[in-house]
Amino acid sequence: MTENHRPAASVAPADPSDVVELFLQAARRHPERAAIIHNEQELSYARLEGLVRGIAGRLGPDCGTVGVLTARSADTIAAFLGVLAAGGAYCPIDPAFPAERKEALVRAAGCRSVIAPDAAEVPLGLPALRLAEPHPTGLPHAPATPWPAVDPEDPAYVLFTSGSTGAPKPVATPRRAIAAAVDSLAGLLDIAPADRVLQFASLNWDTCFEEILPALTRGASLVIDDDAYSASFPRFLRMIERRRVTVLDLPTAFWHEFVNHLTEDRAALPGTVRTVVIGGEAARPARLADWRAVPGADRVRLVNTYGCTETTLVTHAIDLHGPLAVGDTSPTATPAAIPIGHALPHVREHIGEDGELLIGGPSLALGYRGLPQITGERFRAFDQPDVRGWYFRTGDRVRREADGALVHEGRLDDELKIRGIRVSPGEAEAQMCGHPDVAAAVATGTVVGDHTALVGYVLPRPHADPATLAAAVLRHLRERSPRHLVPTRITVVPELPHTASGKVDRARTHQLYAIRNEFKEASRAR
Amino acid sequence: MPADRIVDGIIDIFRRVLETDGVHADSDFFETGGDSLLATRVLSAIVRDHGTELTIAEFIESPTPSTLAKRIESVTR
């Protein structure tokens, strides 16, 4: 890829193996073991390997970046591994995205072909590889030919992160970054063939690889179950027991609600669960205190994680509760701020001026595809005695605790985390301004329940009807924007306050117009 | 439970979860500041109060107190 603006990371002697190689080794060791359990259907490692080889064979050795219209299915996971096995780069595309957005993503990622279910429309009319439906095992098995030679510096996937200008930024992640991060993470979580790891994260964001790759490189089973995504905790708990799930990786905002449910129902954690991983935003001390009182929580590892797309999956982690947690973990001993933890073995960290966390090491992405200037702003070369090589500026301010763990103290910019997904207010504002009756817009975060929600404020154009504009803009966004850029609430305002430098003041706007009432204060006090 | 008592109960749940008084029988949860995480609270409260387990898909199809009450009635009848 020409967008690699930095030299290759230095290659350490004990570089971890490519994830495809590890998957094939696991398949050779446990061909009959279930790789994927999707509702009632089990797909063995041997069958999954057949699917992966079939897709890789059909893609050929020079497939470049391949778009994949995702679904929560073994097919999509086989497509991901198949693209990697063919030496290509995987680019997930949410089929629910509006057509315009899908086309923009495919174009920005440089996809040359798309893997799609039979009936699905392919963005930009690119060449399509159709997956046989509905039976995923119907693909022809390619002979066990040698795989194309892969370079650890080749991109393995292209994912998008929010850009302040309104356009999404494609992050290209090389194979060595994934190998390093998965090796560390599988070690941290001690994933073994007996494990059953829930596949909970959306297949369109990188968190899903934290579930898929540690499981499938270590011979464990990945569980996909409709009851996991029903938003019904009674169903969620029964699903865990039915499928004997041992490892859960949950967005912190969802875990908060899980804790609320367990606490209010005085329910216990299912006995099969041994590890719960959380991440995506700051964990709330009150929910950790509640968790520590849940029956069964003492024998379960609760692991808080931190990482960015640009630094691949997880870079920092800490056991907050359970057998490996250090210090006083009684419900009354909850700290005021919950740490994001210590750097994993593959990570180099440096705290820069302003307390900004900088990350170096083999898990760094190649940069933003086609955006050399923005890449140059965020990826910096250092040549100091103890800080050498390339580092990514996370934009997160941190401080170090006495025990060495890092605590997140906020952002250096206005970026928000909405249900674990990074949202640049500028991008959400640009989407709202796409409505013809909107003169200007502000997007910001507000706390509802135990999470941050995106709220919008719009200034109408002179001819617009302020009474119907909020609903009209919401409708407009739902048809055109991905879900994480659609505010949960839009308020029409008569004017927008400006800062001394003439920029729209987001914080002041929210202060002036946020809906207030006594319920808020009551629930905060809990 | 009579139908309007179920509706009132759900209005109460919506008010608590959405932290606003501005909820009536025909308020759409997802148009009144509700999202998928707050929806889990509504679904848990409905299990506690009415013993009915609904999914997010059913909630999205019946997003108001009056339509949710009809669904609960049809399940419990």
A487-509 confidence digits (pLDDT tens): 999 999 999 999 888 888 998 99
Reported pTM: 0.90
Is B53 within 8 Å of chain A by CB?
yes
User: 3-class DSSP state for residue A120?
Assistant: coil
Tell me the percentage of chain A whose pLDDT exceeds 70: 92
User: 3-class DSSP state for residue A424?
Assistant: coil
Cβ-Cβ contacts under 8 Å, A519 against chain B: 15-16, 19-21
CB atoms B37 and A232 under 8 Å = no
Q: Give, for A500, the enclosing helix (H) or strand (E).
A: none
Q: Say which residue the tokens 């596949």 belong to.
A: A199
Question: Averaged over A58-81, what is the pLDDT?
Answer: 94
Strand partners, A317: A305, A342
Task: Give chain A's mean pLDDT.
Answer: 89
| Lowest model confidence (mean pLDDT) among A79-83, A122-126, A151-155 | A122-126
Q: What does the pLDDT read at residue A132?
A: 63
Give chain B as a DSSP string.
--HHHHHHHHHHHHHHHHT-S---TT--GGGTT--HHHHHHHHHHHHHHH-----HHHHHHS-SHHHHHHHHHHHH-
Q: How far apart are CA A267 and CA A239, in angstroms?
A: 15
Residue A462: cis peptide before it, omega within 30 degrees of 0: no
Residue A215 half-sphere exposure toward CB, CA atoms < 13 A:
28
Q: How far apart are CA B40 and CA A12, in angstroms?
A: 46
Enter the DSSP assignment of A131: E
User: 3-class DSSP state for residue A9?
Assistant: coil
Domains and CATH numbers, chain A: 1-6+175-413 (3.40.50.12780), 19-149 (3.40.50.980), 424-525 (3.30.300.30)
Q: What does the pLDDT read at residue A195?
A: 98
Give the C-alpha distances (Å, rounded to integers) separating A259 from A233, A240, A324, B40: 10, 15, 20, 12
With CA atoms as reference, the chain B residue closest to A227 would be: B55
Strand partners, A359: A349, A392
Q: Which two tokens stand for residue A127?
A: 């060449």
Question: Averaged over A304-330, what is the pLDDT?
Answer: 95
Q: What does the pLDDT read at residue A167?
A: 75
Q: What is the ipTM of this complex?
A: 0.91
Tell me how many residue pairs between chain A and chain B have CB atoms under 8 A apart. 75
Residues sharing a CB contact under 8 Å with residue A191, sequence separation 6 or more, in sequence order: A197, A214, A215, A218, A220, A247
- Dihedral of CA A390/A396/A398/A404: which sign? negative
Residues in chain B, pLDDT under 70: 1, 77
Residue A142 above 70 pLDDT? no
Mutation choice for B interface testing from A230, A287, A469 by most B CBs within 10 A: A230
Mutation choice for A interface testing from B18, B23, B36 by most A CBs within 10 A: B36
User: What's the angle, vertex CA A305, arms to CA A175 and CA A445, rounded to 5?
Assistant: 105
CB atoms A253 and B33 under 8 Å = no
Is B71 within 8 Å of chain A by CB?
no
B3-76 is classed in which CATH architecture? Orthogonal Bundle (1.10)
Question: Averaged over A214-220, what is the pLDDT?
Answer: 98
Q: How far apart are CA A140 and CA A147, in angstroms?
A: 17
Question: Averaged over A257-272, what is the pLDDT?
Answer: 96
Contact call for residues A379 and A193 (beta carbons, < 8 A): no
Contact call for residues A33 and A44 (beta carbons, < 8 A): yes
CB atoms B37 and A489 under 8 Å = no
Contact call for residues A443 and A455 (beta carbons, < 8 A): yes
CB atoms A231 and B33 under 8 Å = no
| Lowest model confidence (mean pLDDT) among A97-111, A189-203, A238-252 | A97-111
Q: What does the pLDDT read at residue A380?
A: 94
Q: Which two tokens stand for residue A41?
A: 């259907």
Question: Averaged over A319-338, what is the pLDDT?
Answer: 90
Start-to-end CA span in chain A (Å):
52
Is A488 within 8 Å of chain B by CB?
yes
Q: What does the pLDDT read at residue A359?
A: 98
Q: How far apart are CA A66 and CA A77, in angstroms?
A: 14
Q: What does the pLDDT read at residue A518?
A: 32
Entry field: residues in chain B = 77
Q: Say which residue the tokens 């072909």 belong to.
A: A113
Å between B2 CA and nearest CA of chain A: 25
Start-to-end CA span in chain B (Å):
10
Q: What does the pLDDT read at residue A146?
A: 56
How far is C-alpha A344 from the geometric centre of its chain's CA atoms? Answer: 18
Q: What does the pLDDT read at residue B77?
A: 61
CB atoms B43 and A229 under 8 Å = no
Q: How far apart are CA B63 and CA A35, in angstroms?
A: 37
Pairing of strands A113-117, A128-131: parallel
Q: Which two tokens stand for residue A433?
A: 């301004």
Tell me the percentage of chain A whose pLDDT exceeds 90: 73
- Region for residue A328 given its phi and psi (left: phi exceeds 0; alpha: psi -120 to 50; beta: otherwise): beta
Q: How far apart are CA A461 and CA A357, in angstroms?
A: 42
Q: How far apart are CA A44 and CA A292, in angstroms?
A: 37
User: What's the angle, vertex CA A425, arms to CA A363 and CA A96, rounded to 5?
Assistant: 75
Task: Please name which of A493, A480, A487 lies closest in space to residue A96, comparing C-alpha atoms.
Answer: A480
Pairing of strands A65-69, A89-93: parallel
Burial zone of A67 (CB within 10 Å; 0-12 exposed, 13-18 middle, 19+ buried): buried
CB atoms B38 and A261 under 8 Å = no
How would residue A190 be classed by pLDDT, with cut points 50, 70 and 90? very high
Residue A153 above 70 pLDDT? yes
Give the C-alpha distances (Å, rounded to integers) separating A30 from A136, A139, A194, A469: 20, 21, 11, 58
